[in-house]
Amino acid sequence: MTGTIRLLLSASALAISFPLATAPATAQDTEAEAPSRTYSAEEFYTSTTFGTVSGQGHAFSPDGSAVLITSDESGVRNAYWQPLNGGERMQLTASQSDAYNAVSAFPGDGRILFTANSGGNEINHLFVREEDGTIRDLTPGEETRAGFSGWTADGSAFYVETNERDASSSDLYLFDAGDYSRELVFRNPGGYWLGSVSPDGRWLVVTKEETNTDSDLYLVDLQGDGEPVLITPGDAEATHGAEGFTPDSANLVYTTNEFGEFRQAWTYDIATGERELLAEDEWDVSFVDYSPSGRYRVTAFNRDGATDVTVFDTVEGEEIDLGMEVANMGGFRFSPDEGMATFAANTDTSPTDIYQLDHASEQVTRLTSALNPAIAESDLVTSTVARFVSYDGVEIPGILYRPKGADAQNPAPAVVYVHGGPGGQSRQGYNPVIQHLVNHGYAVYAINNRGSSGYGTTFYHMDDLKHGDADLRDVVASKDFLQGMDWIADDRIAVMGGSYGGYMTAAALAFHPEVFDAGINIFGVTNWLRTLESIPAWWGPQRDALFDELGDPATDSERLRAISPLFHADRIVKPMLVVQGANDPRVLQVESDELVEAARANGAPVEYVLFPDEGHGFTRRDNRITASEAYLAFLNEHVGAD
């Protein structure tokens, strides 16, 4: 990934997808007639969210008859066995409140591992579900944050990282798969983020963030002195991301922007120290993964807001033709004998489903059906990639959704949709929030303003120490772009976004109060001084890198105050909807409380929706429905039909 620190305020829970590249269409393409009907938020969220297990986890049941997945079909995310013969799913956990996310099956029996936190507070614990259904917390502690880090080659033990010793650093433990006893295998001296362990159990890769433009990789010999050894050029200002080890443990695979604008994939030979180029393109390499033996290599590229995946058979020396129209894929998991693989796939108009690839027959079978059968897929809208020239000549990309039936005689009101981050990316792929709005007649432009990832290093860093100014002016300039389309109602354009996108929404209403007709701020930062000072300890070394990007409140307080909407709320005059989770550890509830109070005192029309059981992103289906209903009702009132 381009830069982890830039994604700490992303609204990832608003939409989950594995989108892939499609040929961009022009913004003026004519849509078909109006949809056969409009659908409620409840109907959109009756569609099911499916997810594959962790990249380091086992996916298949011991007998190979089922694959472990996460699904929210009960209304809350829980773990399930999904039969490979198309039979009925078997629910393994039964949470009715907190999201339970499956991370791995045990390789020798029916136990599973999953993570969960309390009310969205992001303090994840690792749990085991025994075969008899009992659940045990393997990482207890009120402030302990833990994560699964993979299995030993023989399946007798698994790795877990926790910050129980030092809230700002995670140590690595090896848990016995039988009795869950554990031993400390790496004591973090501080300043390192843990990566994966090599299949032979000898090597651990760790990352050190120097600045938001410079990060390095280190190898730790777990059978030696345990000291991190630098393996990337320390004098090169570049970011490096560990992808994991090759199955033979001989090489580390990593991505880097050391050699140009876009991230390439390289291998590092542990024995010789030699580096070799593995994959490159005129876009970023998103990830590289292997099947257990290394025969199959999966490589993904982030091409223009979409992820283009190839599966390469290293024995036959050729790419595998999956033979399916759907090209939006990710989350590949191979069976132990490599006879089959499962993966997730979606499109703009179809939520993520789980698929099975049989290598012998080369057949692909869909195992799940995510889209609510009450919704006709033909009523949903496929996005296009649309660019415009911003205020200073910089070309800004984005993802444009045109409602069916919108034309010059029936122009649609529009919403500029700002992603989280800073440094996230609006992408193609199914998004129920957006499709719900488009289905009800709203054009949506998901802007990738400067500072977004996926468009090269220079574009990514154009907003460093210029947040709320350079990037915000792109959002403002997008209104002129939309007004130039004859099928958009140029006098009814709103702005909305979650997390950093929520900040951008509030900033647009405060600093450019006459531009947008309304705004929806979803858990957005309003006071950067308080937010940066209250960063949770488990952000660890990324805290300093984030200061490097946004500013240090101890030394840059004047500028941070100047870009904080709370201190300029007296300029907010347009209608605003604020949506917040009470348990949010990143953007505290007080951020929204105070902005709502200040804007109301100024006489601005403000609505406030507060979820007492959510954090930074909404995981409960009922809350997602409530939020989407609030978005639509607010827009209908303030920028909808005349």
Q: Which domains does the chain have, with CATH numbers?
A: 4-43+374-638 (3.40.50.1820), 50-292 (2.120.10.30)
Least confident range from 126-130, 253-257, 553-557, 592-596: namely 553-557
Q: What's the pLDDT band for 156 if we cut at 50, 70, 90? A: very high
Total Cβ atoms within 10 A of residue 360: 7
- pLDDT number for residue 454: 96
Mean pLDDT, residues 336-345: 93
Mean pLDDT, residues 449-459: 97
Residue 176 CA: distances (Å) to CA of 54, 141, 160, 183, 186:
19, 20, 11, 9, 16
Q: What's the pLDDT band for 15 if we cut at 50, 70, 90? A: very low
If you ran DSSP here, which 8-state letter would residue 40 be given? -
Mean pLDDT, residues 330-342: 93
- pLDDT number for residue 641: 60
The tokens 């869950």 sit on which residue?
A: 180
Q: What is the pTM for the complete model shown?
A: 0.91
CA gap 149, 361 in Å, rounded: 33
Highest mean pLDDT among 1-10, 229-238, 320-329, 488-497: 488-497
Tens digits of residue pLDDT in 263-316:
999 999 999 999 999 999 999 999 999 999 999 999 999 999 988 888 999 999
Contact, 343 vs 355, CB < 8 A?
yes
Residue 125 has pLDDT above 60, yes or no: yes
- pLDDT number for residue 20: 32
Greater confidence, 407 or 209? Answer: 407
Q: What's the pLDDT band for 107 if we cut at 50, 70, 90? A: very high
Strand 157-166 versus strand 169-176 pairing type: antiparallel
- pLDDT number for residue 618: 93
CA gap 144, 141 in Å, rounded: 5
Tens digits of residue pLDDT in 365-396:
999 999 999 999 999 999 999 999 999 999 99
Give the chain's mean pLDDT: 91
Mean pLDDT, residues 33-50: 92
Residues 6+ apart with CB under 8 A from 583: 118, 119, 120, 121, 612, 613, 614, 615
Q: What's the pLDDT band for 412 if we cut at 50, 70, 90? A: very high
- pLDDT number for residue 321: 80
| Cα first-last separation, the chain | 44
Highest mean pLDDT among 125-129, 313-317, 534-538: 125-129
- pLDDT number for residue 24: 37
Rg (CA), the chain: 24
The tokens 């180029």 sit on which residue?
A: 277
- pLDDT number for residue 17: 32
Mean pLDDT, residues 571-589: 95
Among residues 462, 456, 4, 7, the alpha carbon closest in space to that of 214 is found at 4
The alpha carbon of 465 is separated from its chain's Cα centroid by a whole number of angstroms, namely 23
Residue 497 has pLDDT above 70, yes or no: yes
Q: What's the pLDDT band for 14 if we cut at 50, 70, 90? A: very low
DSSP reduced 3-state for 115: strand
Token pair recorded at residue 62: 């011991």
- pLDDT number for residue 86: 75
Q: What's the pLDDT band for 537 if we cut at 50, 70, 90? A: confident
Greater confidence, 3 or 386? Answer: 386
3-state helix, strand, coil in the chain (%, to 5): 20, 35, 50
- pLDDT number for residue 326: 53
CA gap 79, 61 in Å, rounded: 13
Tens digits of residue pLDDT in 71-94:
999 999 999 999 998 789 999 999
Residues 6+ apart with CB under 8 A from 177: 106, 108, 155, 156, 157, 158
